[in-house]
Structure 1
Amino acid sequence: MKVTETLNEGLKRGYNIVVTAAEMEEKVNEKLLEAQPEVEMKGFRKGKVPMALLKKQFGDKVMGEAMQESIDGAMSKHFEETGDRPAMQPEIKMTNENWKPGDDVDVSVSYETLPEIPEVDLKKIKLEKLVVKAEDKDIDEALANLAENAQNFEDRKKGSKSKDGDQVTIDFLGKVDGEAFEGGAAEDYPLVLGSNSFIPGFEEQLVGAKVDEDVEVKVDFPAEYQAEHLAGKAAVFECKIKAVKEPKAAEVNDELAKQFGAEDLAALKVQIAERLEAEFSGAARAVQKRKLLDELDTLVKFELPPSLVEAEAGQIAHQLWHEENPDVEGHDHPEIETTDEHKSLAERRVRLGLLLAEMGRKNEIEVTDAEMTQAIMNQARQYPGQERQFFEFVQQNQQMQQQMRAPIFEDKVVDYVFELADVTEKSIKKADLEKAVEALEDEAS
């Protein structure tokens, strides 16, 4: 086998690989001899089929396997000897297209190798870790929200009209073309006006109603209504108003705390403070991570594989186009051109991605099976009742696994850098943290 370099410019590499006909013949014979003891064929005992007949019967198939194995072996040896790591899948093609058995196999290989990435003295990186403590007003605001969510309803004064947000208790009977239909009647049904739990237009017609009033509600079922015999039909609902109740927020006391699993109000406040500070910590980490990436982007420069930058720029342009055209769900749209802005952002992402990957590789940072399992379980919860199917889907889908593994790996590398960098804590207020997060969002947009 002969390997000849044909291109070495920047990160671009090209090679010509020749596997001689004699080498191919030897490889085919080896594979046939290896398989011979297990081959059964009519007229011969198991393992006694002549080599000539084996070659005639299976030679073409084995030749293809031998050719692939020879090329794969040559590439593996080449990468081991040179230390090259392809940025993307190498392009491999036969150059003697009219090849026939007995000819040498002539193959061209081209790829972009990953660059040498310089070392970074992480101890010289200076970062601020923002620290925000939950203040009493933050805890009180969270308690008020809990109380509102735990609201009760109390009867309005006699003769009061219902308002949006009130709960009305009704008896109703629905008819289409003057005939009652199945599922269109109920008694003592509690309906919160504005909850949109009934078909569009229904609840609005009950605003302003009083107890003991009869209200005739006229609506049209949506064209895509789940019950086909009602879809698009005009309906009339005869409603009897039996109660009108206004929402009352629950009182902030020990009883409220028990509704949310706390022993008393003091314990609930502690839980809320811990939850708020966990949220603040997550937001502060995002700010600190962005500052780190900005710092690394200015500290480290190296040549980037053009194919990676081009692919990333295309992905960015495509994503932004869909954000600006949310009505287009599929990919049946005009070709999207990349701009200098897309390319600049792509270069940053590729540079930082390669740098963090190299840091992780050199420091043997890996995503454990337990971490992957936890991540899959967390995402599976978004599909109630289908958790098992989602789990099995991810286990069988390598691309999906890589998509989930990548952010976990990146965060582990970032945490590793945080441990070595010169990090000082800075106490700030919640409002200042919110401004810092808004600044990140503005930069991202």
Structure 2
Amino acid sequence: MQVTETLNEGLKRAYAITVTAAELDAKVNEKLVEAQPEIEMKGFRKGKVPMPLLRKQFGQRLLGESMQEVIDGAMNKHFEDSGDRPAMQPAVKMVNEDWKEGDDVNVEMSYEKLPEVPEVDFSGIKIEKLVAKADDASVDEALANLAETAQDFKDRKKGSKAKDGDQVVIDFLGKVDGVAFDGGAAEDYPLVLGSGSFIPGFEEQLVGVKAGEEKAVEVKFPEEYGAENLAGKDAVFDVTVKAVKEPVAAEINDELAQKFGAEDLEALKGQIRERLEAEYVGAARAVMKRALLDELDGLVSFDLPPSLVEAEAKQIAHQLYHEEHPDDHGHDHGEIAPTDEHNKLAERRVRLGLLLAELGQKAEVEVTDSEMTQAIMNQARQYPGQERAFFDYVRQNPQMQQQLRAPIFEDKVIDHIAAGAQVTEKEVSKDDLQKAVEALDDE
């Protein structure tokens, strides 16, 4: 076998690999000898089938397998000997497409190698770690917001019109083509206008009604409605409004606390304070992480694989397009050309990604099984009732596993770097911390 370098330009590499016909033939014979003891054929005892007959019977199939194994072996040996790590899957193609049995195999392999990442002295990095405490005002504000979510409703003044967010108590009877249908009637039903709990168009028509009023609400069931006999049908609901009520926040007392599982109001305040400070810690970490990445970005410079930068820039452009066009849920918008700004951001992400990967490898940072399990559980909560299916999906999908593992690995590397850097704590208010977080999105 012969491997000849044909390109060495920056991080780009290309090689011509020649596998001789004799090497390929030897590989086929090796496979036949290995398989011979287990092969049975009419007229021969097990393991006694002559080699020429085996070659005639199985040679063509083994030829393809042998060719692939020899080429893979040549590639693996090349990477082992050279120390190169390809940035992406190497491109491999057979040069002599008119190849026939008895010919040498000529293959061309090309790739971009990962660059050498320079050493970084963490001790020279200086960053601030913001610290915010949950004061009484913040706890009271969160408590008031919590009371609003546990809102009650009280009757509006007689003759008042219902507003969006009000609760109307109604009797209703639904009909399609003048005939009432199952499940289309109720009495004393409390409906919050704007909640979206009824089919589209129903609640909007009750804005402005008064207690004692009767109204015919005309709607069309969605085409994808669960009941096939109603899907896409026009319907009329005869509605009687029995009460119009306005929302009022629940009283802040021990009873409210017990609704949220706390023993009393003071216990609820303690829980809120802990939750707020946990949120502050998370926000402060995000600010510190950005500052640390900025420092690292200014410390290192090395060549980047163009293919990685290009792929990242396209991903950024695609993501930002959908953020700017939230109504476009498809992917038939054509190719979105990355801008100079996208390319610059892609270079930063690729450079920092390679740097963190190298630092993590040298520090022997690992993501534990328990950390992965916790990450999967957190993600699975987004699919209530389908948690087991999600677990199975992740277990069978290496790409999804990598998507979940990558941020955990990155955070652990960040912690490793921060442990060796000069970190000073700075106490700030909640508002100052919020401004620092908002500034992350502006950059």
Q: TM-score range with shorter-chain normalisation?
A: over 0.9
| Cα drift, residue 306 of structure 1 | 1.2
| Cα drift, residue 336 of structure 1 | 2.1
Contact between 1:200 and 1:219, CA under 8 Å: does it hold in 2?
Answer: no
TM-score (norm 2): 0.94
Distance of 2:98 and 2:234 partners within structure 1 = 72
Q: Which residues of 2 match residues 10-409 of structure 1 at below 5 A?
A: 10-156=10-156, 162-211=162-211, 213-224=212-223, 226=225, 227-409=227-409
| Cα drift, residue 419 of structure 1 | 1.2
* Local SS of the residue matching 2:40: coil
Contact between 1:205 and 1:217, CA under 8 Å: does it hold in 2?
Answer: no
Distance of 2:349 and 2:102 partners within structure 1 = 49
Distance of 1:31 and 1:124 partners within structure 2 = 58
Distance of 1:314 and 1:43 partners within structure 2 = 63
Taking a change above 3 Å as real, the CA distance of residues 200 and 95 of structure 1, as seen in their structure-2 partners, is: closer
Question: Please, which moves more after superposition, 9-18 or 408-417?
Answer: 9-18
Taking a change above 3 Å as real, the CA distance of residues 301 and 225 of structure 1, as seen in their structure-2 partners, is: closer
In the alignment, what sits opposite 1:7? 7
| Cα drift, residue 391 of structure 1 | 1.1
Taking a change above 3 Å as real, the CA distance of residues 56 and 192 of structure 1, as seen in their structure-2 partners, is: same
Taking a change above 3 Å as real, the CA distance of residues 108 and 224 of structure 1, as seen in their structure-2 partners, is: same
Question: Please, which moves more after superposition, 192-201 or 253-262?
Answer: 192-201
Distance of 2:321 and 2:165 partners within structure 1 = 39
* Local SS of the residue matching 1:274: helix
Q: CA RMSD in A?
A: 1.9
Distance of 2:138 and 2:17 partners within structure 1 = 68
Q: What is the percent sequence identity of the aligned residues?
A: 74
Question: Please, which moves more after superposition, 295-304 or 188-197?
Answer: 188-197
Taking a change above 3 Å as real, the CA distance of residues 40 and 329 of structure 1, as seen in their structure-2 partners, is: farther
Letter paired with 1:73: G
Taking a change above 3 Å as real, the CA distance of residues 341 and 415 of structure 1, as seen in their structure-2 partners, is: same
Deviations along 1:246-298, one digit per CA (max 9) or x if unpaired, are 33322111121111111211111111011001111111111111111111111
Deviations along 1:406-437, one digit per CA (max 9) or x if unpaired, are 11111111111111111000000111111111
Letter paired with 1:217: A
Letter paired with 1:41: M
| Cα drift, residue 232 of structure 1 | 4.9
Contact between 2:153 and 2:248, CA under 8 Å: does it hold in 1?
Answer: yes
Letter paired with 1:384: P
Letter paired with 2:56: K
Structure 1: runs of 5+ lacking an equivalent: none
Question: Please, which moves more after superposition, 298-307 or 364-373?
Answer: 364-373
Letter paired with 1:284: A
Taking a change above 3 Å as real, the CA distance of residues 331 and 244 of structure 1, as seen in their structure-2 partners, is: closer
Structure 2: runs of 5+ lacking an equivalent: none
* Local SS of the residue matching 1:383: coil
Distance of 2:192 and 2:154 partners within structure 1 = 13
| Cα drift, residue 177 of structure 1 | 3.5
* Local SS of the residue matching 1:174: strand
| Cα drift, residue 323 of structure 1 | 2.6
Letter paired with 1:397: N
Letter paired with 1:115: P
* Local SS of the residue matching 1:48: coil
Distance of 1:307 and 1:277 partners within structure 2 = 42
Distance of 1:220 and 1:78 partners within structure 2 = 69
Distance of 2:169 and 2:326 partners within structure 1 = 40
* Local SS of the residue matching 1:216: strand
Distance of 1:215 and 1:84 partners within structure 2 = 78
| Cα drift, residue 40 of structure 1 | 2.2
Distance of 2:385 and 2:113 partners within structure 1 = 45
Contact between 1:129 and 1:426, CA under 8 Å: does it hold in 2?
Answer: yes
In the alignment, what sits opposite 1:420? 420
Deviations along 1:84-130, one digit per CA (max 9) or x if unpaired, are 11111111122222222222222221111111110000111001000
* Local SS of the residue matching 1:70: helix
Taking a change above 3 Å as real, the CA distance of residues 204 and 323 of structure 1, as seen in their structure-2 partners, is: closer
Distance of 2:244 and 2:195 partners within structure 1 = 15
Question: Please, which moves more after superposition, 219-228 or 400-409?
Answer: 219-228
Distance of 2:382 and 2:5 partners within structure 1 = 51
Question: Please, which moves more after superposition, 372-381 or 186-195?
Answer: 186-195
Deviations along 1:339-374, one digit per CA (max 9) or x if unpaired, are 222211111111001000000111111112221121
Letter paired with 2:214: V
Distance of 2:345 and 2:51 partners within structure 1 = 60
Contact between 1:175 and 1:181, CA under 8 Å: does it hold in 2?
Answer: yes
* Local SS of the residue matching 2:8: strand
Distance of 1:197 and 1:90 partners within structure 2 = 53
Question: Please, which moves more after superposition, 227-236 or 15-24?
Answer: 227-236
Letter paired with 1:52: P
Contact between 1:216 and 1:236, CA under 8 Å: does it hold in 2?
Answer: no
* Local SS of the residue matching 1:293: helix
* Local SS of the residue matching 2:153: strand
Deviations along 1:176-202, one digit per CA (max 9) or x if unpaired, are 333322222112212223323223443
